[in-house]
Amino acid sequence: MKNKKWFAVKTLYVTRAVGKSSAKGKQAFAELLEERVVLFQAANANAAVKAAEKDAKEYSQYTYTNFEGQAVRTEYLKACDVFELYETLESGVELFASTEVLTKKVSSKQLIARRLGVLETKSTIKMRKRFMSKELGSYV
């Protein structure tokens, strides 16, 4: 892999449970937003993005059945962000970084919630289970 560099590429996905649920009562709306950061070795950033796009399409092809009998499908949002790694890969090496220009004062708590999310409530955890496979759901 001479003259190839390492790139971390972030891709975005939405996962949805589709079809009638076997659960009783009205189901709250829920979709799962997923960010993946995957390493690629490529000649340049454009080649890394091309490899990431191919990987994202393959990743989003998998469909399974959840414990409520619904098909769970993942859609690639056709959005990615590439980051070239300039250091040798080893423990503690930065794999990805992004920045955001803030145009107004935002509290640290709001910034953390926006980037890392908030602790999930019991009802949110219950919704998350909707995205587990039938096999995995039997263990939870």
pLDDT digits (tens, 9 = 90+) for 35-65: 999 999 999 999 999 999 999 999 999 899 9
Residue type at position 73: R
pLDDT at 47: 97
Give the pLDDT band of residue 131 (cuts 50, 70, 90).
Answer: confident
- Rounded Cα distance, 96 and 83, in Å: 6
pLDDT at 139: 61
pLDDT digits (tens, 9 = 90+) for 77-127: 999 999 999 988 899 888 888 877 888 898 888 888 888 788 888 888 888
CB 90 within 8 A of CB 83: no
What's the total number of domains in the chain?
Answer: 1
Per residue, the 3-state secondary structure of the chain, as one string, reads CCCCEEEEEEEEEEEEEECCCCCCCCCCCCCEEEEEEEEEEECCHHHHHHHHHHHHHHHCCCEEEECCCCEEEEEEEEEEEEEEECCCCCCCCCCCCCCCCCCCCCCHHHHHHHHHCCCCCHHHHHHHHHHCEHHHHCCC
> By residue range, what is the domain housing residue 33?
5-137
User: How many C-beta atoms surround the C-beta of residue 133 within 10 A?
Assistant: 13
